[in-house]
Structure formats: structure tokens, C-alpha cells
Chains A and B, each alone.
Chain A
Amino acid sequence: MSINDKPFLSVRDLKVHFPTDDGLVKSVNGLSFDLEKGKTLGIVGESGSGKSVTSLSIMGLHRAGGKRGAPQISGEIWLDGEDLVAAGPDRVRKLRGQKMAMIFQDPLTAMHPYYTVGAQIVEGYRAHHPGVSKREARKRAIEMLDRVGIPQPDKRVDNYPHEFSGGMRQRAMIAMALVNDPSLLIADEPTTALDVTVQAQILDLIRDLQKEFGSAVIIITHDLGVVAELADDILVMYGGKPVERGPAATLFESPEHPYTWGLLGSMPRLDRELQDRLTPVKGTPPSLINVPSGCAFHPRCPYAELTGGRSTTEVPVLAEAAPQHHAACHLPIAERHRIFADEIAPRL
């Protein structure tokens, strides 16, 4: 296969396992997806479903070496024709910040408290543009701050992170991530720490910037509203595995997996009629050490019996349910559609 045939970002059977005292934590256990330039992928899933671990794996930010905390990573991560899992740490480091960049959830802790915002942006720029002078880099930093909508960027560039408000910090983080025009931007819960009104500003900003730079974007969140705003494609994760993947519109319109139904049913929505009761997913998220046998969702799945026992024994694979729309569920497609139409859709 030639390089050009490959998608810009292609993750193949990614497994990230952490050895701990209590056992092997299978944080990501067989994840595959593709992402093209200019497209946005939304990854949703509950806390602990392996979203952050996935993004850190792509960035190569898991700690290598040593005994504790270093995960066992297997599978392939192809970025622009290069396998990041196979590449050496030095190579990945060169790509990091330049070709791929990341925005973190909590901008306050993600910035060094002792250095000015400007200095931290300049540093990222100069790391990949060794020839650039400090003054030029500073100019670039001011330009980036301006670009992300920070007023008076020439003054603010010399502020420390704690002197910024939450929204401004997240903007500064974005400026820092975009300073080298990365072609892949990963945003791990970029707005969770922010207020709705500020969140709206930031989401707008990300969308505009993506249009402008044409980069590929992965947005990670547990808020279905946020992905609906931004994503072209959506990947739903449960217990370290993808359970459903598809274009945003279809996924929201006709979700295939009972877990996705659960997610949609459990959130009150402003855009719908008021329901009397929410429909929660019963039970609690699974242990990643002792992942339930078969379908990891089966202990919480109201339809597990309908699989004729397969759900407890057989691990479902992601199978195409509709064009470009895949789900990992033992329920026959027809059955799924029936249940959705009869029981779920009316309540949503």
C-alpha cells in the first residue's frame, strides 16, 4: 500500500495496558479508527473509558522506560505515513508539537506557573524552528494570542497563567498548540472546566481555526452536545473499546448500540420536550482489570438476554450496520432497529 493511500491518521488495533499492583489495567483494548485532514472526530464515553489514554498514546506522551506507570502499547498509529508506535521516541518528539498538538482539559495546571504565557508559547515555537530569533518568536506568540482572541496580546504575552481567566487560559493553550501549524490537533475535554458561555466561545474558536488551517481534529469529551457541535465523525468508547463509530448525523439519528442509547437517554435535553423521567443506564462502569467477559456492556445492557447468551461469552466486533456506521453488538441489526424505533426513540 502506498503512503498516499493511507488516511492521514490511522489507528489500528491499539492496545494500551498498564501493569499495576492490582493487575493489568486494560485502558484501551483494541481501538481502530481513521481520520482525514480537515475532518473532526469526536470521541465520547464515560469517565475511565480510555479516551485520554488514547490521545496520549497518539502523542507518545506515556512515560517510556522505568518500571512503574509505563504502559504496554501495541498496535499501530499511522500519522501521515509513519507508524508512531514503531518510531523511536526521538522521532515522535520531533513530530510532537509540530505535526500534532494537544489541548488539555485544565489549562491552569497544564501551564507552568513560573513562566509567562508568552515564554511558553515561544518555547514551543523555537523548539521546532531552531533558527528563529527570540524576537521573531515573540512576535509569533503575540500574533497567535491575537488569533485566538485575546485582547491586547502584546501586553498579555508577558502575563503569567494565573493572571489569566479560565477562558483566556484555554485560548492561550490553543495558541500554544497551534503555534507550529500542526496538521493534527487533539483536544482532550477542552471545555469541561469552563462555563457554558465561555465554552461556546472556545468551541467556535476551535471550529474556525480548523476551517482556516484545515487540520485534522480529535475532540474528546463526555458531553454529547459538544461533539454534536463540532464533530464530523463520532466514536463511542466503553470500557476501553469502541462500541460504535459513525458519521455524527447518523449516529445521533439512529444510534446502533444500546450503550449509545443509554447515553442519549440519560441526558436531559433542552431541545426536546420535557420528559417525566430520564432513562439512566443502570449499574456502574466496568472494571478495566476484570473486564466483563464477552460484551463488556452486557452486565448493564437491558437487552443482553436477547443475544442468546452470546453477550457473556463472545466479544462483539465492530461491524458495519449501515454505510460507514459500525457498532459492536451481538443483537441482530434488525432487532436493534426495532428496539430503537419502538422503545428508545419515543423517549428521546
Chain B
Amino acid sequence: MTDSQTAAPQTATVPAPAPASDREPLLRVTGLTRHFPVTKGLFKRQVGAVRAVDGIDFSVNAGETLGVVGESGCGKSTMGRLVTRLDEPTGGKIEFEGADITHLGVGAMRPYRRDIQMIFQDPYSSLNPRHTIGTIVGAPFRLQKVATEHGVKKAVQDLLELCGLSPEHYNRYPHEFSGGQRQRIGIARALALKPKMIIADEPVSALDVSIQAQVVNLLDDLQQELGLTYLIIAHDLSVVRHVSDRVAVMYLGKVVEIAERDSLYASPMHPYTNALMSAVPVPDPRRKERRERILLTGDVPSPLNPPSGCRFRTRCWKAQDICASQEPPLTAAKAGHQVACHFPENSATE
């Protein structure tokens, strides 16, 4: 049975994730920080800060997919917005192809926008309801003043076709499409300028289960075909496993674990990652009795006032005194597997 949904050719093999070391990172993020000031009073005195992203480091190599998971409010979207420069970082550095793009202005950033594109979470709000599909998908050409061989219309129609939509949709409005189709339109727009990297913030979480798979497959196919690099943000561990080569786990504005996909899913080292994995409901009634679940107590603490030391310690069953006083650094516990924990699981030292 073949999937007749997508126009892109299928590949029979899972692309084996290449070792990270021998590739030049396309995107490198160091010490990235974003604090949202909380102000009060007549003179807008700053009384605190929401430490949405609080010093994270990672890099993404060309052609690979980095998945980012974490609970609601841990700073995933903020991170995504910082990397795409929709938001101004408070600190740290973002390098794209070796160039520092951390504080570029609208104009200076414009050339880079061709190479870094974004797919948004909500297929309803990410398309301007008053623009036709042609306008929406053609916007990148106009904004970047890119000349197209056979005119913008042709280019747009090609893109639509590439993303599994009919070229006749050119003059339609977004409200005439279903969620899955809209997400395809969003993807077509992101692809217009042939970017090198695509950042996708929860690209499928607003979609119905049966549609979600269509979009995931499309993303897969496009990566194959166009050699794209993805940074995919999601909270669904199963989806992330499916799409990623490497996965970063975030907790309260920090990356607590970052590893090759298989290594992470096979032997998660951070207690939080463990808890997350065990909490995912498995669609298999027979397994439900056998599974041992790690039930975390309490809620995620407020990013306004994160716990000292290790941020997870308030919910961690392994926490000890050192966790409160010392913040564990993100260190390589084994090849291609970094973790920030004083007492990591599944590690050789345990």
C-alpha cells in the first residue's frame, strides 16, 4: 500500500543519523537567555523577571533534525522565537553558518531570513485570513524581492504542488481549507525561498490524529528532497522520536538533556526525561498493568522564581542536598549524550 497523499518521493530507509562530530553546525546557540521583565508601579520598576530561557547551549548540524521537548511553559517557543530572531535575546549568542546574528536589526537580518524559516503551530492563526493563498505563499518572494523565472504565480503553484495542494487553490482564502491543508500552506510558504533551516514550533499539535501523520510525512519527505535542516519543537514525545535525529529536553528554561534520538529514548539519563517518558500513555491495554510509571508530584515551579541549584529538584525523587546548592552543568555523559544532573540514571557510574 502506498501513500497517495504526498507528491514527494518515498524513501525506504530510515536516514541513519550521521555522527554529529563530523558535520559543521549550521546553527550554534551559546548561553542563550531571555528574561521577560516583570514591572510594577508608576515608574515601571522592574520587580523580577520571567526566566523563560535561561542560558541554553546547543547546535544543529546541516541536514539533521533536532527535536525539542518539554512541558508547557518551559521556554520552548521562546527559544524558537529567539533563534528565528522574532524576539530579542537578553543574553547569549546565536550563530548561523558561523555568522553572529544575535542582535541584527530588521534590515540586517533580512538576508538571513531566506535561510531560516519557520513553521507555526496554529494553522488557523498563522495564515492571514484576509489574504489569498497566492498572496500568502507569494509573500516571501515579494518581501525578499526575489525574482522568479516564470513569475511569482508559477513559483507559488509549484510550491503548492510540492506540498500536496492543488495549484488551483491559488485564489482561495485560508478559511476554505482544513487544518491539515492549512498547515501545508504554511509549509509551502516556509519553503518558498529554499531555506537551509526550518524551525517548527509544534507543527502538528493542532491537527487531528489522522491528519497529523500526513504532515509529519510531508516534513520527512521534504527534508529528504531538499536537504533541509529542522529544529522541531513539540511536546509529544512519540512525534519527536519519529522526526528527530537528536532530541533536547527542556525544563524551566534550561536544557536538561540532549542526545542522539536512540540513545535518549533507549536510556534516558535525566530523571525528568525518565518521568516524561513513563508518563506517555501507551495505546496498548495489555501493557498498562505491566508498566511502571514514575508519577511526579506537584506542578512545574514558576519561571519567575525557579528553584536554586537543579531546577528539577523540587519534583525529583532522587534529589539530595547538593541539588539545592549546585546547578548541574550540561556535560557529556557518553558519546552524543549530554545531561545536566548530579545523579543521572542509566549512566555508567550509577
A residues near B (Cβ < 8 Å) are 46-47, 165-168, 195-201, 203-204, 222-229, 231, 248-249, 252-253, 262-271, 274-282, 284-285, 302, 343
Partner of A268, one of B242, B276, B285: B242
A197 adjacent to B213 (CB under 8 Å): no
Inter-chain contacts of B13 with A (CB < 8 A): 276
B286 adjacent to A46 (CB under 8 Å): no
B279-303: contact bitstring with A at CB < 8 Å (1 yes, 0 no)? 1111111111000010110011000
B213 adjacent to A270 (CB under 8 Å): no
Q: Can you list 6 contacts pairing A with B, beta carbon distance less than 8 Å?
A: A46-B209, A166-B299, A168-B299, A265-B213, A266-B213, A270-B282
B235 adjacent to A225 (CB under 8 Å): no
B213 adjacent to A200 (CB under 8 Å): no
Inter-chain contacts of B1 with A (CB < 8 A): 279, 302, 343
Shortest CB distance B10–A (Å): 7
Task: Name which of B88-96, B113-121, B214-222 contacts chain A.
Answer: B214-222
The residue on A at minimum CB distance from B69 is A196
Inter-chain contacts of A285 with B (CB < 8 A): 178, 208, 210
Shortest CB distance A248–B (Å): 4
The docked-state distance in angstroms from the alpha carbon of A132 to that of B1 is 64
Shortest CB distance B184–A (Å): 12
Shortest CB distance A258–B (Å): 11
A195 adjacent to B71 (CB under 8 Å): yes
B52-71: contact bitstring with A at CB < 8 Å (1 yes, 0 no)? 00000000000000000001
The docked-state distance in angstroms from the alpha carbon of A144 to that of B237 is 33
Knowing A269-B282, A270-B277, A279-B3 touch, does A165 contact B214 (C-beta < 8 A)? no
B residues near A (Cβ < 8 Å) are 1, 3-5, 10-14, 71-72, 178, 180-181, 208-214, 216-217, 220, 235, 237-239, 241-242, 265, 275-288, 293, 295-296, 299-300
The docked-state distance in angstroms from the alpha carbon of A252 to that of B284 is 6
Knowing A262-B210, A267-B213, A280-B5 touch, does A200 contact B281 (C-beta < 8 A)? yes
Shortest CB distance A236–B (Å): 12
The docked-state distance in angstroms from the alpha carbon of A276 to that of B239 is 12
The docked-state distance in angstroms from the alpha carbon of A227 to that of B13 is 32
Partner of A228, one of B71, B278, B284: B284
Partner of B209, one of A165, A222, A248, A270: A222
Partner of A266, one of B209, B275, B287: B209
Once A and B bind, how many residue pairs between them come within 8 Å at the CB atom? 144
The docked-state distance in angstroms from the alpha carbon of A210 to that of B213 is 34
The docked-state distance in angstroms from the alpha carbon of A274 to that of B262 is 10
The docked-state distance in angstroms from the alpha carbon of A196 to that of B273 is 12
Knowing A46-B209, A200-B279, A279-B213 touch, does A248 contact B241 (C-beta < 8 A)? no
Inter-chain contacts of A195 with B (CB < 8 A): 71-72, 235, 300
Inter-chain contacts of A199 with B (CB < 8 A): 279, 281
Partner of A197, one of B217, B220, B296: B296
The docked-state distance in angstroms from the alpha carbon of A281 to that of B3 is 9
The residue on A at minimum CB distance from B296 is A197
A229 adjacent to B288 (CB under 8 Å): yes
A252 adjacent to B283 (CB under 8 Å): yes
Inter-chain contacts of A228 with B (CB < 8 A): 281-285, 288
Known contacts A248-B285, A280-B3, then 14 further A-B pairs from the complex at CB < 8 Å, ordered by chain A residue:
A197-B275, A200-B296, A201-B296, A225-B283, A228-B282, A229-B282, A252-B285, A266-B209, A267-B238, A268-B241, A277-B3, A277-B220, A280-B214, A281-B210
The docked-state distance in angstroms from the alpha carbon of A267 to that of B278 is 17
B10 adjacent to A277 (CB under 8 Å): yes
Partner of B212, one of A203, A266, A343: A266
Shortest CB distance A68–B (Å): 22
